[in-house]
Amino acid sequence: MSTIRQIKKTAEELIPLYAVGDADLPDRPLWEHPELDRVIEALRILSDILFPGKHMPEPTDFRGFFIKQLKSASEILEQEIEKAMPFRWMGAADLHENRPPIDNLFMASTEILNTFLSRIPQIRTLLIEDIKAAYYGDPAALSYAEIKLAYPGLVAITSHRIAHELYKLEVPLIPRIMSEHTHSLTGIDIHPGATIGKGFFIDHGTGVVIGETSHIGNNVKLYQGVTLGAKSFPLDEHGRPIKHIQRHPTVEDDVVVYANSTILGGDTVLGRGTTVAGNVFLMQSTPPGSLVNRIDGGVIIKTRETPIGGAGI
């Protein structure tokens, strides 16, 4: 058989494999979903709004700059959210049932977009505290500008705070596209569902993993290689993972976790002011003000004699 005949034969065999949708939406063509490049472009524009001057000259007319950039991001997001909404499944115990119908995708998408836009000032407020946490938590940081322009941890938390707001609005796909794009750039993997308080600092950053149901308090500092993960994946009666249950740890205020430590479990709570040394593997909670160190065969948890106060950075 000639190559051209083989190409035609292969093409014919491929057609029926792509003509129908996936398991989520069997009646919808596979390509009817948000466009990756447009979602990433919206993320870039939103990042420029939150940090003017990072990718372009500092604007002299902030009001005009914000209006122009917000319009550009909105034009993209309105269309991409509308494409994403049929994939909504958050809160359903089974992906194939209990999916609420959306009568008017355009109106629903517009409402979500407007709510998201109203939250951008709150995102900026949190990011200011994140920059301060990096500046005061890293003696190598000599200015806020250095953090804004060069720190991968700030890139990751900026992307996360944007994606998390869309996640809370139950927008499918788009938050995860944003977080995984940022993961590829920084080596920091934060699921958009993770809840993170103010003054969050990831030092160095590479290899940090923060799971979907993690709860992180205020003024928390993580070093490279830290994992906030799950112990296991409970299954339903059909053998499928149960979604949206607490699987990842809670990290209370003023906690520091040093490099390459792994904290697992939805019932694991790091108490306020706890310090976890490097290379610790931990699957149990700690009292407030604890010091957790690695020993042969496990870990040792010591409680400080006096309560921890201050920022912990």
Domains of the chain as residue ranges with CATH? 27-92+101-187 (1.10.3130.10), 207-313 (2.160.10.10)
What's the mean pLDDT in 100-108? 83
Provide the pLDDT for residue 24. 53
What whole-number distance in Å separates Cα of residue 274 and Cα of residue 240? 35
Q: Mean pLDDT, the chain, as a whole number?
A: 89
What's the mean pLDDT in 217-224? 98
Going by C-beta distance under 8 Å and a sequence separation of 6 or more, which residues neighbour residue 227? 208, 209, 261, 262, 263, 264
The kind and range of the H/E element at 65 are helix 62-84
Provide the pLDDT for residue 303. 85
Provide the pLDDT for residue 180. 98
Residue 252: both structure tokens together: 């209370």
What whole-number distance in Å separates Cα of residue 303 and Cα of residue 149? 38
Provide the pLDDT for residue 241. 81
pLDDT for 99 beyond 80:
no
What's the mean pLDDT in 207-227? 98
The sign of the torsion formed by the CA atoms of 294, 297, 298, 299 equals negative
The confidence band for 16, taking pLDDT boundaries of 50, 70 and 90, is confident
pLDDT for 70 beyond 60:
yes
The confidence band for 87, taking pLDDT boundaries of 50, 70 and 90, is confident
Tell how far CA 241 is from the center of its chain.
20
**Residue 153's CB: how many other CB atoms inside 10 A?**
25
Provide the pLDDT for residue 305. 58
The confidence band for 25, taking pLDDT boundaries of 50, 70 and 90, is low
pTM higher than 0.85: yes
pLDDT for 134 beyond 80:
yes
pLDDT for 27 beyond 70:
no
Provide the pLDDT for residue 251. 98
Provide the pLDDT for residue 295. 86
Provide the pLDDT for residue 110. 96
